[in-house]
Amino acid sequence: MSQDKNAYDDLPDGVVVVDPTGAVVLVNPAGARILSTSADALVGRSLQQVLPLIDDQSRDWWACTDPFGGLSTRTRQPERSLQVGDGPLKGRELLVTAAYVRDEQRRLQRVVLVLRDNRARERTDRSRADLVSTVAHELRSPLTSVKGFTATLLAKWDRFNDEQKQLMLQTVNSDADRVTRLLTELLDVSRIDAGRLEVRRQVIDLPGAVLKAVSGRVAAGDPEERFVVKLDGELPEIWADPDKIDQVVGNLIENALRHGEGIVTVTVAPFESGAQVSVEDEGAGIPPETAARVFTRFWRGNRGRGTGLGLYIVKGLVEAHGGSVEVGRAASGGARFRFVLPAGTAPYDA
């Protein structure tokens, strides 16, 4: 059982193992957390006492399923949403799956219960619903604009002069870029969540990436005097995906412009055996109680602009490189975002 315990301890779902007499013999850490107690307090007790479950018709689930009797051909009970019927957790909804472990003579050796907190699934469902709502909202405006201008141009092309046509086509082009950026963000979120983010490493010019991002913002109409770029020391050779680092730097600068105020200062410097990039603004900053949420999905700050996915993507991209990102307060009182990248060598050198 010690080997089983080690295996169960690593599982993210709660596991409760019961012997043929109905006594609990093992509870993994996730199971103890779900049941809001310790494994020592549960081992040796009767399963019905530890986990009194009822179904959606208020029936005793243990009496209905008879886990220690019944047909010897049973191997499992499919996942069911059940409620704790008594005790401190009364009313808590759990997703419960049961597996029957038998010997060669089909005699019951143990029952293995897998527990999942239904609240986690509800949070996932809400997150998906929020994502769909955000996408629909963000797509509606540019697509409405694209549809309106193209329909107008097709129907009344001869009524507009060249300057008016150019303005409408520029608007359509800008809105199409917005849609493309949103779809790119959604693909990035999907890959980060699924752990399928590919990083194609090569030697990158980190200061060059910062200067390119600033030049892009200036070309897009932001005042050049609003940016200060500092290069503080010689950097080691950094191996990273240049496109993804461009995205990280661009997202952080855009965030400073959108949610901050005043001068945006970007500093590139060596850090331990790698490099760091900090982006500071002169706005009101981020309260400490909010700092823990800024890298989560749909955080939009006080002004509520954008999709709220940019910083979530920044965190995923930086961590995919083995780096880290944090937020704090700048000397000016504004927000200070800093990410660190480790130095590296060419992939496959080992």
The pLDDT tens digits of the residues spanning 48-62 come to 888 899 988 888 888
| More confident position, 166 or 296 | 166
Domain 202-341 bears CATH identifier 3.30.565.10: yes
| More confident position, 244 or 193 | 244
pLDDT at 175 over 90: no
Please give the pLDDT value at position 262.
Answer: 92
Distance separating alpha carbons of residues 1 and 208, to the nearest angstrom: 57
| More confident position, 87 or 162 | 162
Start and end residues for every CATH 1.10.287.130 domain found in the chain: 121-194
Instruction: Look at 4-13, 111-120, 291-300 and tell me which has the smallest mean pLDDT.
Output: 4-13
| More confident position, 349 or 313 | 313
Note the CATH architecture for domain 121-194: Orthogonal Bundle (1.10)
Please give the pLDDT value at position 76.
Answer: 85
Distance separating alpha carbons of residues 199 and 94, to the nearest angstrom: 38
Please give the pLDDT value at position 349.
Answer: 43
CA dihedral (74, 76, 80, 84) positive or negative: positive
Percent of the chain with pLDDT over 90: 37
Please give the pLDDT value at position 224.
Answer: 93
pLDDT at 303 over 90: no
Residue type, 244: K
Distance separating alpha carbons of residues 231 and 209, to the nearest angstrom: 12
pLDDT at 168 over 80: yes
- What confidence tier does 127 reach under pLDDT thresholds 50, 70, 90? low
Instruction: Look at 6-10, 48-52, 145-149, 337-341 and tell me which has the smallest mean pLDDT.
Output: 6-10
Residue 26: φ, ψ to 5°: -160, 140
Please give the pLDDT value at position 120.
Answer: 62
Please give the pLDDT value at position 276.
Answer: 96
Residue 277: φ, ψ to 5°: -130, 125
Dihedral Cα 249, 253, 254, 255, nearest 10 deg: 100
**What would the 3-class secondary structure string for 160-202 be?**
CCHHHHHHHHHHHHHHHHHHHHHHHHHHHHHHHHHCCCCCCCE
Question: Is 111 buried (19+), middle (13-18) or exposed (0-12) by CB count in 10 A?
Answer: buried
pLDDT at 70 over 80: no
Please give the pLDDT value at position 203.
Answer: 93
Say which CATH class 2-118 falls into.
Answer: alpha beta
Q: What is the mean pLDDT of residues 99-120?
A: 86
Distance separating alpha carbons of residues 111 and 151, to the nearest angstrom: 65
pTM attached to this predicted model? 0.60
